[in-house]
Amino acid sequence: FHALSFAYKALFPEDYADLIKGTINIFLNFTNRDGFANAVKVINDFAMDSLQPGIDDAVIEKFRRYVENHTELFRDSLTCKTKYSVITHGDCRSNNMMFKYSEDRKLIDIRF
């Protein structure tokens, strides 16, 4: 679905603009709910706790900036209108991901 909307936007930009005029971004509603910020905080804390000071300092510093502004960054990502923005369905399940494995069956890449 993502690739289809990307191609449609590239091939028929005016039709794409007309198509998205009537869309509603339901994810914006989630950012205003009480549980949203807390749920993201729990996930961020879990991720931050998995990092090791002294070893992962560069990652910790970059991630800390995200953690401090996660709700605003999420909202900004939802309203982003760029050359590469697409219509998404928001269904984060394994059947909507592509996995690449090495010959010895180890995961080497994942695409959402």
| pLDDT tens readout for residues 36-48 | 888 888 999 999 9
Q: Angle at CA 58, nearest 5°, toward 31 and 40? A: 15
Residue 4 has a pLDDT of 87
Shared domain for 91 and 61, answered yes or no, is no
Domain enclosing residue 6, as ranges: 1-25+83-112
Residue 90 has a pLDDT of 64
User: pTM to 2 decimals?
Assistant: 0.55
Shared domain for 93 and 107, answered yes or no, is yes
Q: What does R_g of the chain's alpha carbons equal in angstroms?
A: 18
More confident residue, 83 or 10: 10
CB distance 78 to 28 below 8 Å: yes
Total residue count of the chain as it appears in this document = 112
Shared domain for 60 and 90, answered yes or no, is no
Shared domain for 87 and 74, answered yes or no, is no
Span 88-110, mean pLDDT?
Answer: 80
CA dihedral 33, 34, 35, 40 (to 10 degrees): 90
Shared domain for 72 and 96, answered yes or no, is no
> What percent of the chain has pLDDT above 90?
34
Query: Is residue 104's pLDDT more than 90?
Result: yes
Domain count, the chain: 2
